[in-house]
Structure 1
Amino acid sequence: MRADAFLAAAAALPLRDLREIVPRGGIVVVAPHPDDESLGCGALIAEACLRGIPLRLVVVSDGTGSHPTSPSHPPERLRALREAETLAAAACLGLPAAHVAFLRLPDRFVPAEGPRAEAAAEAIAAAARDCGAGALFVTWAHDPHGDHRASAALARTARDRLGDVRLYAYPVWGWTLPPETEVGPPPRGARLAVAPHRDAKAAAIAAHRSQTTTLIADDPQGFRLEPAMIARFLREDEIVLAVDP
């Protein structure tokens, strides 16, 4: 199926209550970079926290690829900043810092296989066991970013180790795919309403100041989320795609 038709069909998936999507147990959200959790799953995290559903956030990469040549923010400082931003964003959504884990794999070079990938998959599985997870959520395997695809592979490996646990994917950069890109069978899954948590989600996204403002202004290669992209993630719903075993 072409990406344009797939995404249009995904946008028409039924709205579901969170407990219809994850009928039992806790939830693990896997974010390739600090900020993906707020963009793709902010309302989901807020809803789970509001309802007392155990949730763990696992951030895969160290985030240092966003401003690779900044004199003011060399890698160690940038990593510390992005982790602090993530904890601030989590707090906006109601998630305690103790429930956030940082794997610190290299941004732009997250491995999908090999010893470090195996260790990362086990860390995701451990987070799932810790909260009695009934489902994992990770970025879509067709997102046009290597770290997003690698994180999807890590989550699949973790799910295989866990047994009866559902796996869902959330698109982040998938919306930018060329329309003719082939992405496989029609989507299955659901949409979760953003409206009850829009303010919290907006605050969480804004907490990632290094990605949304000119906080780091001395790197001509620096990344910044465009307002139109932020607005997309504050629309009516979050899409979660069922991933087959």
Structure 2
Amino acid sequence: MASLPYADLDSITGGRTTLVLAPHPDDESLGCGGLIAEACARGRPPVVAVLTDGTMSHPNSPSHPAPRLRALREAEAQAAVESLGLGAHRLYFLGLRDSAVPTEGPEFQAAAARLVRLIRDHDAGSILVTWEHDPHPDHAAAHRLAAEAARITGVRLIAYPVWGWTLPAHRCLPSRPTTGARLDIARHLPAKRRAVAAHASQHSGLIADDPQAFRLPADMLAIHDRPFEVFLFPDAAAAPAGTPA
């Protein structure tokens, strides 16, 4: 994936407003913080929707029970997108339960309908979501929700890997042809670093009273601290013209 050709932002997104769907607060910064910053710099700020409340990162913290942790993670996400140049009024929290994103049934349809409303309210032309092969159930479920919203609205579906970078090389190959491109984010790397740093609960000892706490490993942070981001097109028909598979 890291060897894909470079493409311009407009070639990737179609030149219209983009809806970025993050399964958890921090995925937006890790996977496409540079793209968010570039879109803002061009005067076309995206819309960011955080799917879950993120409260399973510290499920047994006495100092941060779920309501307080949710508020903290929302505040971190707000600070993160502001670091990228995005106004907090373009950040939405959908509030689904962390680690319990539905993949079918009434809850699934309700969540997809909320994404459809955001797409239509903001006249978005594309939806960015975590890669369908990311080894986290919420990430795969988020992709399924975004695909449903894209099907209903006809917008371009674009995927960004987060945990997919940790897979062995042979497992990074999808089961069907996928096209993609890299976006040069070198000039936005300082802003992306500030955005990732804003999610302090996820990579520091900010919450130290939960022995089962999640913490982003240093090698994972290093993977996303690069002067490019990768975007994949599950439907070859949605790929930018001239982008090879």
Q: If the length of structure 1 is used for normalisation, what is the TM-score?
A: 0.92
Q: Tell me, yes or no, if the aligned pair for 2:48 and 2:91 is still in contact at 8 Å.
A: yes
Q: Tell me, yes or no, if the aligned pair for 2:165 and 2:223 is still in contact at 8 Å.
A: no
Structure 2 residue runs of 5 or longer lacking an equivalent are 238-245
Percent identity of equivalent pairs = 55
Runs of 4+ in structure 1 over 6 Å off = none
Shift of 1:186: 4.1
Q: Distance in 1 between matches of 2:45 and 2:187?
A: 19
Deviations 1:152-205 (A, max 9, x none): 000001001102x11110010112224443621343011111211000000000
Which of 136, 159, 168 is the aligned partner of 1:169? 159
For structure 1, which segment, 38-47 or 171-180, has the greater mean C-alpha deviation from structure 2 after superposition? 171-180
Report matched runs for 1:2-151 at 5 Å.
10-151=1-142
Q: Distance in 1 between matches of 2:177 and 2:218?
A: 30
Deviations 1:185-237 (A, max 9, x none): 34301111121100000000000010011000011110111222111101121
Q: Distance in 2 between matches of 1:178 and 1:194?
A: 25
Q: Tell me, yes or no, if the aligned pair for 1:25 and 1:54 is still in contact at 8 Å.
A: no
Please name the residue that 1:192 is paired with: 183
Q: If the length of structure 2 is used for normalisation, what is the TM-score?
A: 0.92
Q: Tell me, yes or no, if the aligned pair for 1:25 and 1:131 is still in contact at 8 Å.
A: no
Please name the residue that 2:242 is paired with: none
Please name the residue that 2:243 is paired with: none
- Counterpart residue type for residue 210 of structure 2: D
Please name the residue that 2:214 is paired with: 223
Please give the root-mean-square deviation of Cα atoms over the aligned residues, in Å.
Answer: 1.3
| SS, match of residue 125 in structure 2 | strand
